[in-house]
Amino acid sequence: MPNSKTNRILLYVSTFIIIALVLFAILRDNASDITLFNAQKILDNRSVKSVTITKDYVYLKTDNEFYRIASSQVTPKMFVNYKVEVDSGSSVIVYILFGVLFLGIGTLLLRWWQKHSPLFEGVGAQSASRVDITQNTPVEAIKSDVKFSDIGGISDVKIELEEIIDFIKNPKRYKSFGARMPRGVLLVGPPGVGKTMIAKAVAHEAGVPFFYQSGASFVQIYVGMGAKRVHELFHAAKNNAPSIIFIDEIDAVGKKRDGQRSDEREATLNQLLTEMDGFENQSGIIVIAATNKIEVLDSALLRSGRFDRRVFVELPTKRERASILEKYLNKVPHDLDVMAVANMTVGFNGASLAALVNEAALLALRQNDFQVNIEHFHQVKDKVMFGKKKLQMLSDKQKEYRVTYQAAKAITATYFDLPFEKLMLSNEKLTPTTDEPLIKHELEARIKMLLAGMVASDIKYGEHASSAKVDLDEAKELVNKMLQDYGMGSSLISVNEEDITLMGRLYNETRLLLESMNGAIQGVEDILNERESITKLDVKKEIDALL
């Protein structure tokens, strides 16, 4: 009886293989490649009987021959005298058939093996132990094939990280000078700006093993498993030094300890802190972490000696978007002015630009166009925008308001010498909030900076945008702290409605300042319209030219 079952299985397998070989012989691509010159020649001679297009090729069939030419080499006007057919892709059908075929064969063989092999006896009782084995898989390095040249729009970040790469390649040079290698680098930025790709590029350029873990992978159900996983990760990195450890979304494991009971998370965080202290004398190990919520990280994780260096990865400017788009359009046949696409994508990050290019290419294929043009981008922009609700997309009018708003903040911050290096058109926060002790006039200067955007918009347009809420909330909070907590009002204890008086005075003083700086504001607006970013030095030049 077992022999008859075995013979039946062998018969099924043989039948499937024969069918697959026949289908492959029928459906495989047997067309000959042809040059553009020869293709145009046979088209002009009217010897082509049919024209079929696919995603990658255009197929030309004559009485005796079957040719193909890459879609990127031809233009639609070449086939105006022919009826063009669209092929959904016979190669895809072949792949699907093979997939179904091998899945069926594999299922039959697996069932036969489970029924006759002694290895599967008592499989239910052993299921729990198999789960434990999969959870205890060893930590292994991965090979990174991402280069800095593959990533567009990160020139500032690249300069910052090149020193880290040199540290790894030439540790003796720095040791002889008395300098030590940074233990950790924290990449901070909104989702989709390419933090993971940047870390992979560092590993590739340095030519060292790359150990990737997500913060969520350390969060285990059982107490002690997360800490064990952290220890295994660092142990593997030490054994392969020099190497790079990358922890993505570190806020999943590194949140502030608030005193509430969470033994597993705190044990994991404590183990991470201990490991980062423990490899001080280990040469060539760098921990790179990424987060978009630096404000929730535990202070012990952020102190010097753990993450010595913080690199802020912002949303790309217009020129950076153009650089990113050129990377993604490199393999896409197109007839585009890249700067025109960059102009229409204010607020897009690298991931959304990739989605935009892909959607435009798919639309061009659906419409049987051989090249992607600007109209395709206009048609799919809304689709990408609605799919990325967290991104702030600006119309031309909204951009005009934002430019004025941000220019006034930059002018005020520079006038009062508030600490900032660069202002981004896409970033609401000019300078981060601080808990450092501040004198009364320093607090008032910060409040004026927060009010400056609304004041300038009210002066120029007679109204301001709802996006001012973030700055207005912070200004109100500072006013309340000055009066209620710091005793900086007319008396140590605040009196009724003194906050309204203080806010009104600061608003009026800001208005007088900006009215006197109208020429400088216009100069900063011009730069923001062109670059979508401006440095504090450039703002100071505009103010000095006015004074």
What's the whole-model pTM score?
0.52
d(CA 40, CA 46): 10
By three-state DSSP, how is residue 189 classified? coil
List, in order of start, the domains of the chain with CATH numbers: 2-91 (3.30.720.210), 148-312 (3.40.50.300), 318-387 (1.10.8.60), 396-546 (1.20.58.760)
Residue type, 273: L
Measured distance CA(186)–CA(208) in Å, rounded: 19
Q: Which residues on neighbouring strands pair with residue 309, listed in sequence order?
A: 185
Question: For residue 71, what are the contacts with CB-CB under 8 A and spacing of at least 6?
Answer: 53, 54, 55, 56, 57, 58, 333, 370
The amino acid at 94: V
* 285-291 and 184-188 beta bridge pairing: parallel
Give phi and psi for 55, each to the nearest 5: -60, -40
- Contact at 8 Å (CB) between 167 and 181? yes
**What is the maximal distance between C-alpha atoms in the chain?**
102
Residue 35 · residue 68 · CB < 8 Å: no
Q: Is residue 185 classed as helix, strand or coil in its secondary structure?
A: strand
Would you state the pLDDT for residue 522?
Answer: 93
Specify the pLDDT at position 128.
37
Residue 17 token pair? 């293989």
Distance CA 398, CA 403 (A): 9
| Structure-token pair, residue 502 | 């203080």
* Alpha-carbon gap, residue 203 to 168, rounded angstroms: 10
Token output for 102 = 């091998």
pLDDT, position 244: 86
Of 373, 372, 466, the closest CA to residue 428 belongs to 466
| Strand bridging mode 57-61 / 66-70 | antiparallel
Tokens, residue 5: 């079952």
State residue 447's pLDDT score.
Answer: 94
Residue 382 pLDDT: 63
**Which residues, 6+ apart, have CB-to-CB distance to 226 below 8 Å?**
218, 219, 220, 253, 264, 265, 267, 268, 271
Amino acid at 354: A
User: Structure tokens of 383?
Assistant: 């689709």
Task: Give every CB contact of residue 378 below 8 A, 6+ residues apart in sequence.
Answer: 344
Residues 76-107, buried b or exposed e (16+ Cβ, 10 A)? eebbeeeeeeeeeeeeeebeebeeebeeebee
User: CB of 302 within 8 A of CB of 261?
Assistant: no
d(CA 408, CA 402): 10
Distance (Å, whole) CA 107 – CA 100? 10
Burial class (CB in 10 A: 0-12, 13-18, 19+), 333: middle
Check: CB of residue 112 under 8 Å from CB of residue 20.
Answer: no
Residue in this structure with the two tokens 């404590």, named with its chain if needed: 270
Block mean pLDDT (10 aa), the chain, length 547: 57 64 57 78 80 78 81 73 64 57 63 56 41 52 78 76 82 79 83 84 85 76 70 84 86 75 73 75 75 84 82 84 88 87 82 88 88 84 57 74 93 90 74 70 93 94 89 92 88 85 94 93 92 87 87
Within 10 A of 380 (CB to CB), how many other CB atoms are there?
A: 20
Return d(Cα 376, Cα 372) in angstroms, integer: 6
Strand partners, 424: 533
Torsion of CA 225, 229, 230, 236, to 10 degrees: 160
